[in-house]
Copies of this chain bind each other. A is one copy, B any other.
């Protein structure tokens, strides 16, 4: 007999009729007397368990079953019985229970609350808790919603390279990639490491962004996107930074900044709608147990337009605010977390795009506005998280871009191919980048990036 999935019992009418079924899953709780035992079993397909009734009169191996440890894997055949009066909509009256894998008694996730710090030390087991089940289910669904939205809007998915010889931002702290002998690497005549003998014949690093390479594809496919891992070798031990994280970087030809903001707002709303529809049980669990504002915040995000304000206006609003900021506010500063939070949480109380930043604090490839002081760039600031999206028009004028590279101290020789994209028919184009984990923090209510990554990579920590 084939297994049914508990998810289908909860979400289709299969759970409303009495019938014979078989399930396989893991015991989450068990309590028993001499004659009867109640097992909560989770089969992995759904956050909710199925309650199993095991009777000594029915089961030859009743005693053995009652001694099973939490986490043991079992396969159960029996009668599914709807129980509309009970808290659970149905129960499974077992006719046979076979053990598929016995768990040791020292299983670390006994039925009690564990701190998230502790659970990080057992990241290989924590997806078995309800909270992390919900978080990582949502991670999967959110990733798919993003692909679905972009594919259905004619965006072409491009896998830009992970190992790279260039540095998109011109500023990142990067991880070096090498196959040279760590203890006795080859040296040049002047006693430097001889990168010529490394695997790629030169120094290589892990990518900090796929944007530059994906622009090449935007000139062929018009609308494209990356969705892959990116890396920053940053020292910062904040709740919002990890050394390895995933980014989504859509890029479009024949667009301006308004188009870019429209698409990013539409994409975010699609993801939220998708989750409300496909991950409602997981969101409800998180709303009940982690962040009681979660569902209200997601609904509000859907129902309102995101605010849009220029950087110059934002500075004025912050200067007029009755608040003593730690970092003084003046035109030209990079907004700090406290400023971003004040804008999103106090002034607008919803996501807000801040546009047209000073050119000096933004990347070299962003398109200069006619005022010569600002660039056609925008950050989306959201409550609780701060910056979630950064986007811009890209400088498509070859001479302006070349001059700006020089001004920003970038060696033009390494970017000739990038200038080629301008030399050979550059349309006006632009795009945006979403930090996937920041988005997940927004849609799960979790407040530490380490709790939305399966096996987080943080300075000094590389378990698993």
Residues of A at the B interface (CB closer than 8 Å) are 3, 5, 7, 24-27, 43-45, 69, 71-73, 75, 100-104, 107-108, 123-125, 127-128, 132-133, 136-137, 139-141, 143-144, 147-148, 151, 154, 156-166, 173-179, 182-183, 185, 191-193, 195, 199-204, 206, 213, 216-223, 228-229, 231, 233, 243-244, 246, 253-254, 396, 417-418, 420-428, 453-455, 457, 459-464
CB distance from A368 to the nearest CB of B (A): 16
- Residues of B within 8 Å of A133, CB to CB, are 220-221
Query: What residues on B are CB-neighbors of A219 within 8 Å?
Result: 26, 44, 127-128
- Report yes or no: A206 in contact with B183, Cβ–Cβ below 8 A: no
9 contacts between A and B (CB under 8 A): A24-B254, A73-B253, A100-B428, A164-B462, A164-B464, A165-B464, A178-B182, A199-B243, A213-B454
A104 neighbours in B (Cβ, 8 Å): 423-424
Is B107 touching A424 in the complex (CB atoms < 8 A)?
Answer: yes
Rounded to whole Å, the gap between the CB of A155 and the closest CB of chain B is 8
Flag if A165 contacts B220 (CB, 8 Å).
no
Whether the pair B220, A128 counts as a contact (CB closer than 8 A) is: yes
Cβ contact of A221, chosen from B136, B191, B203, B246, cutoff 8 A: B136
Name the B residues within 8 Å of A144 (CB-CB). 147-148, 151, 157
Residue of B nearest to A246 (CB): B159
Q: Which residue of B lies closest to A202 (CB)?
A: B462
- Which 9 A-B pairs rank lowest in CB-CB distance, beginning with the nearest? A44-B222, A127-B220, A71-B425, A103-B425, A200-B462, A140-B157, A73-B427, A182-B193, A124-B216
Which residue on chain B has the smallest CB distance to residue A423? B104
CB pair B177–A156 under 8 Å, yes or no, is no
Contacts A144-B147, A162-B229 given; indicate if A193 touches B183 (C-beta within 8 A): yes
Chain B residues contacting A201 (CB-CB under 8 Å) are 460-462
Cβ contacts under 8 Å, A254 to chain B:
3, 24, 73, 75, 100
**Whose C-beta in chain B lies nearest to the C-beta of A71?**
B425
Are A200's CB and B24's CB within 8 A?
no
Instruction: Knowing that A159-B454, A182-B203, A200-B462 touch, tell me 5 more A-B residue pairs with CB under 8 angstroms.
Output: A45-B221, A72-B425, A100-B428, A163-B231, A201-B462
In contact, B192 and A127 (Cβ under 8 angstroms)? no
Would you call B175 and A156 a contact (CB within 8 A)?
no
Q: How far is the CA of A459 from the CA of B3 in the complex (A)?
A: 47
| CB nearest to A100 among chain B residues | B427
Report yes or no: A158 in contact with B183, Cβ–Cβ below 8 A. Answer: no
Chain B residues whose C-beta falls within 8 Å of the C-beta of A427 in the assembled complex: 24, 26, 73, 100-101
Q: How many chain copies does the complex carry?
A: 2
Q: Are A73 and B425 closer than 8 Å at their CB atoms?
A: yes
Q: CB within 8 A of A216: which of B25, B125, B176?
A: B125
* Known contacts A73-B425, A162-B229, A202-B462: A44-B223 contact under CB 8 Å: yes
- Beyond A177-B176, A460-B201, whether A127 also contacts B229 by CB under 8 A is no
A422 to B73, CA, bound (A): 11
Q: Is the CB of B244 within 8 A of A161?
A: yes
B454 touches A217 (CB 8 A): yes
B231 with A229: CB separation less than 8 A = no
Which residues of chain B have C-beta atoms less than 8 A from A204's C-beta?
Answer: 462
Q: Report the separation of the CA atoms of residues A396 and B141 in the bound assembly, to the nearest whole angstrom.
A: 29
How distant is the Cα of A25 from the Cα of B425 in the complex, in angstroms? 10
Q: Which residues of B contact A148 (CB under 8 A)?
A: 144, 148
Shortest distance between the CB of A72 and any CB in chain B (Å): 5
- In the complex, the answer to whether A154 meets B221 with C-beta atoms within 8 Å is no
Known: A193-B183, A462-B200. A425 touches B3 (CB 8 A): no
Contacts of A221 in B (CB 8 A): 44-45, 127, 133, 136-137
Taking a contact as CB atoms under 8 Å apart, the answer to whether B176 and A179 are in contact is yes
The reply to whether B179 and A177 form a contact with Cβ atoms under 8 Å apart is no
Candidates B128, B154, B157; contact of A143 at CB < 8 Å: B157
